[in-house]
Amino acid sequence: MQTRLHRRTMRGELFPPARGTSPGSVLEELSAVLFESLPRSDQRRRGVEYVQGLLGVEGRKSIRNISSLFGGEAAEQSLHHFISGSTWDWSPVRRALARHLEEILPTRAYLLRPMVIPKAGDNSVGVDRRFDPGRGQMMNAQQAVGVWAVSEEHSTPVNWRLHLPEAWLEDATRRRQASIPESAAPETMDQCCVEAYLGIVRDWGLPARPAVMDARQADVPAVVSRLQAGGAPMLLRVSANLRLTATDPGLPRTATEAEMTAHRLMLVARPLRQPVIQRGPDGGGVHAGLTAAVRVRLPLRGARRPSPRGDLVLLGVGENGGRWPGELWLTDLADLHPAQLLRLTRVTRRVERDFAGIAERVGIKDFSGRSFSGWHRHATLASAAHAVAVLSGTAEQPAEATRIPA
């Protein structure tokens, strides 16, 4: 849909709002798109108020703190019911957000990013002993996967999948108390990541942009097989000890006769390195780097386990004068030049910047309720708040909470 803030070019393309447009103006127009699926006007009003609170309240984005902007105890009860006790479906809201962003900020890739949410107790849905890479320790935490739509300059989460341990899924009392749907089944974190991505392509009708994922701790053949089965192009960061078979005619014959680790293979491919120009984080500064790309295959698996199909490309990345390789990536985007692949790997930096600078500020980790549906509704509206901050160019500062007419 065309709005006052989004103007079409002569070719019919949509421009995003001008930088500096007020968050209130962006939210007013965005809410008409996001909340179209909500059947009642009071639900749409509560949705807008919740997003306003996420953008405007200082400190923790709890329902109590958000409601303090809109009338105290009565507002708190209404917002609590809207998030944790209502029946509205969050999936159409996420789909509307993803489609809207695809129109005005065309997606280059989707980054599949795990998120660990520390918790003090054991009652929040999905809490388990988990390892937090950011803190380097085990802790009580929830873990979810965010699917981030990454454009040329911005990134916004558009889908979430909460990982549920078997201990929760096998406990009938816990399932009932947290309102976990019957369809929820045990899955690994790898499966959780892939399903979060495939859902937006399979169920929302969005283009299958490359899925970018840190798969250094993953079962890479299984991830590749699942993404291939879903028709998804992929770019996976892989570990140095991943075993591969080289098929590249540019390598010595001895390198193609046996399996070897990705690291060893890139050492053999050292003569194939090419210089590339890299931009620093946030587009600042340039420096020279090195890449090498060789065709490979993953080893065949057991008869009961599907094997990845066809040749893949192993991309090595390094710095002039630095260790080689510094990074290893596996992809089926065989037609892209190594410099293009390198640029695509850097969407991870953009998402890390926006996660810390926007998503955490608008409260993506701040839901204090215990239910499955409450967590998903909060995550959905936090994603909407993130989009407002991106589209209004106010990622660095809190927005004032201004009422929008229902």
What pLDDT, in 10s, does the model give residues 171-217?
Answer: 999 999 999 999 999 999 999 999 999 999 999 989 999 999 999 99
- pLDDT (mean) for 108-136: 93
Domain boundaries, the chain: 23-210+351-392, 220-332
Please report which confidence band the pLDDT of residue 74 belongs to, taking 50, 70 and 90 as the band edges: confident
Please report which confidence band the pLDDT of residue 402 belongs to, taking 50, 70 and 90 as the band edges: very low
pTM: 0.91
pLDDT at 396: 57
pLDDT at 394: 74
**Cβ contacts of 253-261, under 8 Å, gap ≥ 24:** 259/299
Least confident segment among 9-13, 18-22, 204-208, 261-265: 9-13
